[in-house]
Chain A
Amino acid sequence: MKLKLKQNREFGILAILIVVSTVIGLNSSAFFTVENLFDILKSNVVLGMLAIGMLLVILTGGIDVSVGSMIAAVTVVVGQFLVHVTGNVVLAILVGTAAGTFLGVINGILIAKMRIPPIVVTLGTMSIIIGLTLYITNGTWITGVPDNFINFGRLTIGSFYRQGDDMIGLPVQFLFLVFTAILTWFMLKFTLFGRGIYAIGGSRASAQRVGYNLDRITIFLYAYEGFIIGLAGVVHTSIMRQVDPNAFSGFEMQVIAAVVLGGASTLGGYGSVFGTILGVALFTVINNGLILMHIPTFWQKIVVGIVLITSIGFDVVQKRYWENHTTKVDIEEA
């Protein structure tokens, strides 16, 4: 029955996505163009990757509000490395993921060892990380990224569509999202670590009794999230070709909203990579639709807030409904 419920939920998100896309498409002819769709894809790869990282945290029943500051720190490290050391893409990825993993491990150790709500810990680390980042950069942009890195960012896979003289193809950044999604899906589905994450989200006490090492899973989880953030930082730099240390202030809310929209339960233990991808797509389409329909950008925060509250509220109400439903059956049988 659980499987059926899960399929229903993701099917529901997909249905909403199709309806919303159709409405926007009918209102704006610019929406369903290959150009716009590839544009949406490229500009939301980072959101998608961070959402997959956040999904893991939410699955354990936690929330990480430090992702915005972490990716800001990573982009600054990557930017400095590219400008002052080398424009080598592989080395940049290594440096970025190392920086991200390092920050993630710090979060993980603090959360695992202190047994304090992750949101409070990450609120503290957020302020430390963003403070240091802004102090070091003084809030200024890093420019002058070497050409070979910029060229890497412009790469496309194939060319599908001719727009004037420009060939438009699938942006290379998309591969990173696919890589992250498949790797995370595999880990969640087939490894002890992944099953442990679901177990912790379901019930910490039970997970411990079954024999999972909660501390080790927690630290590894945040380290892996940091790794994804590091990768996303490199991808972001390759898209923007410069680094703005302030670019991600408040970004964590969008990431959380996308994950929650994707059907992950904020109470932990429930959610999937596929659902998260759908959530990111839905969130992105709504935002893009607002722009295409010429609704002022100030409305976006309101939409994010309303989407967050209603989807979390719906989640809780639905869970309560199921619980009531189950109890009733028990009583009747007894």
Chain B
Amino acid sequence: MIHVSTEKLIRRFKNKEAVLFLIFILLFALMSLISPGRFLTWRNLQSMAYQLPEFGIFAIAMMVVIVSGGINLSITFTAALASIVGGLVLSTLSAAGTPSAIVIIAGIATFLVVALACGALNGLVVASIGVTPMLATLGTMTLFEGVCLNITKGGAISGFPDAFLWFGGGTVLGVPFPLIVFILVVIATHYIMERSAFGLKAYMTGCNPTVTAYSGVNVKKILYGIYLFSGLLCALAGILMSSRYNSAKESYGSSYLMQGISAAVLGGTDIAGGYGKVAGTVIAVMILQVISTGLNIFGVNRYITNVIMGGILILVLALNLIGRGEKAIA
């Protein structure tokens, strides 16, 4: 029975990714046709290339957790907390006149350490204590937001050294640096999740943690790994985001939570865990980015953009249901 369902899944998802890519091409063409002078311009494409990586990294951070059978509601505040503490280190050291190389290294290290600590806390609550991931991360999300607010007192952290701004706005051989980071993240995640023993165990955990544990896999270790990896990705997103905004604030990126879930689900990730592909998520991210940029160009109110994004999430879930047929009864 397992054999049959996997085969069916693979067939369905092969089609699904092709369909997704087709949707992306069609949407892109549609937007270009409707407003060629504004959508299909070098400037707009470039601005999309700077926005897409943050969103994409958040979506992948969400996807890996969903694959393991959980959900990480704390991604945006993990990134925010890392940005705020890291930003504080950056601005303090920079104001003290430390050489910029040391400032950058110390700052980036802080980003990573803080986000990994957040990931470790999630891992602790989910894997060691055994709380449902949804509730655990709901709690840590509120906690991180509280810590952020307590540090910033509701304001923003700014005063970063100029060299730091390169991470969000610089180019390497004409390619935006954030895009390079994103591509590296995609390749790395692909190898970790789909080509390594760790990844296979994570998918197994998402399918059925009990059976996985009985197969001799240390489920706890896998879950810790997943939440740490998710935290690490949040740190990268946080670096790009705070560099692009040239400041750090608790509310930056908060809309990426829902969009991240949407992208993962739209990309074919099973919300119940056990299935999901990096490629699908990336295509879904591109689709959502084209939609939101397009809506922005057409001058659609940003609240309505929220409505449409929420609608897409619900619609995709509903379509998945139709694809799933009547076999879903528990």
CB-contacts of A293-334 with B (<8 A) = 296, 298-306, 308-309, 312-313, 316-317, 320
Pick the contact of A301: B149, B304, B329 (CB < 8 A). B149
> Are B140 and A305 in contact (CB-based, < 8 A)?
yes
> Are A132 and B317 in contact (CB-based, < 8 A)?
no
Pick the contact of A119: B71, B129, B147, B321 (CB < 8 A). B71
* B138 close to A (CB within 8 Å): yes
> Are B138 and A256 in contact (CB-based, < 8 A)?
yes
Minimum distance in angstroms from B236 CB to a CB of chain A: 24
Which chain B residue shows the least CB distance to A62? B134
* B139 close to A (CB within 8 Å): yes
Pick the contact of B309: A121, A127, A260 (CB < 8 A). A127
Query: Interface size of A by Cβ–Cβ distance < 8 Å?
Result: 47
Contact with B along A248-263 (1 / 0, CB 8 A): 0000010011001000
CB-contacts of B118-162 with A (<8 A) = 125, 129-132, 134-136, 138-147, 149-150, 153-154
CB-contacts of B87-135 with A (<8 A) = 125, 129-132, 134-135
* A115 close to B (CB within 8 Å): yes
> Are B146 and A115 in contact (CB-based, < 8 A)?
no
* A144 close to B (CB within 8 Å): no
Minimum distance in angstroms from A8 CB to a CB of chain B: 21
CA A54 – CA B102 in complex, angstroms? Answer: 50
Minimum distance in angstroms from B124 CB to a CB of chain A: 9
> Are A128 and B311 in contact (CB-based, < 8 A)?
yes
* A124 close to B (CB within 8 Å): yes
Most buried by B among A113, A125, A130, A316: A316
* A135 close to B (CB within 8 Å): yes
Most buried by A among B142, B144, B154, B317: B142
* A116 close to B (CB within 8 Å): yes
Pick the contact of B317: A63, A124, A302, A306 (CB < 8 A). A124
Minimum distance in angstroms from A160 CB to a CB of chain B: 36
CA A260 – CA B132 in complex, angstroms? Answer: 13
Chain B contacts for A296, CB-based, 8 A: 150, 153
> Are B136 and A126 in contact (CB-based, < 8 A)?
no
* B34 close to A (CB within 8 Å): no
Query: Given that A115-B330, A302-B143, A309-B140 are contacting pairs, would A131 and B307 also be in contact in the complex, using a CB cutoff of 8 Å?
Result: yes
* B5 close to A (CB within 8 Å): no
CA A116 – CA B273 in complex, angstroms? Answer: 12
Minimum distance in angstroms from B63 CB to a CB of chain A: 14
> Are B142 and A312 in contact (CB-based, < 8 A)?
no
CA A296 – CA B149 in complex, angstroms? Answer: 10
Minimum distance in angstroms from A191 CB to a CB of chain B: 24
Query: Given that A110-B314, A117-B271, A123-B258 are contacting pairs, would A313 and B131 also be in contact in the complex, using a CB cutoff of 8 Å?
Result: yes
* A134 close to B (CB within 8 Å): yes
> Are A305 and B139 in contact (CB-based, < 8 A)?
yes
Interface of A (DSSP majority class): helix
* A266 close to B (CB within 8 Å): yes
Query: Given that A114-B321, A115-B328, A127-B310 are contacting pairs, would A63 and B146 also be in contact in the complex, using a CB cutoff of 8 Å?
Result: no
Query: Interface size of B by Cβ–Cβ distance < 8 Å?
Result: 47
CB-contacts of A279-304 with B (<8 A) = 296, 298-304
> Are B150 and A126 in contact (CB-based, < 8 A)?
no
> Are A116 and B317 in contact (CB-based, < 8 A)?
yes
* B22 close to A (CB within 8 Å): no
CB-contacts of A11-30 with B (<8 A) = none
Chain A contacts for B135, CB-based, 8 A: 63, 260, 266, 308, 312
Pick the contact of B310: A125, A135, A256, A317 (CB < 8 A). A125
Minimum distance in angstroms from B305 CB to a CB of chain A: 8
* B49 close to A (CB within 8 Å): no
Which chain B residue shows the least CB distance to A116? B317
Which chain B residue shows the least CB distance to A252? B138
Query: Given that A256-B138, A267-B132, A302-B150 are contacting pairs, would A131 and B304 also be in contact in the complex, using a CB cutoff of 8 Å?
Result: yes
* B residues neighboring A (CB under 8 Å): 71, 125, 129-132, 134-136, 138-147, 149-150, 153-154, 257-258, 261-262, 265, 271-272, 301, 303-307, 309-311, 313-314, 317-318, 321, 328-330
The 11 listed contacts between A and B (C-beta, < 8 Å) are: A110-B318, A123-B310, A123-B313, A124-B310, A128-B314, A266-B135, A299-B146, A302-B146, A305-B139, A312-B139, A313-B131
Q: With A312-B131, A312-B132 given, can you name 13 additional A-B contacts, CB distance below 8 Å?
A: A114-B321, A124-B311, A128-B311, A131-B306, A135-B301, A253-B142, A301-B143, A302-B143, A302-B150, A305-B146, A308-B135, A308-B142, A309-B140
| 7 A-B pairs with the lowest CB-CB distances in the bound complex, closest first | A305-B143, A301-B146, A127-B310, A302-B146, A131-B306, A131-B307, A308-B139
